[in-house]
Amino acid sequence: MKILLVDDEVEFVSALAERMKLRGIDADWTATPEEAVGLAEKNCHDIAVLDIKMPRMGGLDLKKMLEKQCPEMKFIFLTGHGSEEAFKSGSTETGSEFYLVKPVRFETLLEKLRAIGSKSAGGGKNG
C-alpha cells in the first residue's frame, strides 16, 4: 500500500511519514502540491492524504489533478479548519473520501487507511 502525504506543514507531514515508515507503510510526503503531482506521476499511490487548505492549491483541486493521473487513487482529507465551509465541502464534495480534523489520532488515521486499503484489495489491486 503506497501512501502520498501532502500538507504545507512540513514538520507535521514529515513526522507523519516517518511514523508510517516505522510501521512499514510505504509513504511519500511533500509540502507542495506541485511536487505531489510529480510524485504521483512516478509512483501512482493507492491513497493520498491531503490537507484541504494549502497555499496556491487546495486539497480539493489537487485531488482533481491526481485523479487524472491515477484514476484508482483514494483520498483522505485533513483539515485544521473545522469551519462550516470546510465541513460542507468535506462532507459533500469529497463524496466517498474520508475527512478528518487535525489533530487526528494516528491510530484513527491508520484505521481509515486500512479500511480503504482492504476495500481496494477486495477489488484485487495493489494488496
Q: Which residues bind another protein (CB under 8 A)?
A: 9, 11-12, 15-16, 18-19, 22-23, 53, 78, 80-84, 87, 90-92, 94-96, 98-108, 115, 119
Q: Which is nearer to another protein, 71 or 107 (CB)?
A: 107
- Could you tell me the smallest distance in angstroms from the CB atom of residue 124 to another protein? 18
In the bound state with another protein, the residue whose beta carbon lies nearer, of 44 and 80, is 80
C-alpha cell at 104: 487526528
**Which of residues 42 and 106 has its CB atom nearest to another protein in the complex?**
106
State in angstroms the smallest separation of the CB of 41 from another protein: 27
Q: Least distance in Å: CB of 86 to another protein?
A: 8
Helix (H, G, I), strand (E, B) or coil at 54: coil
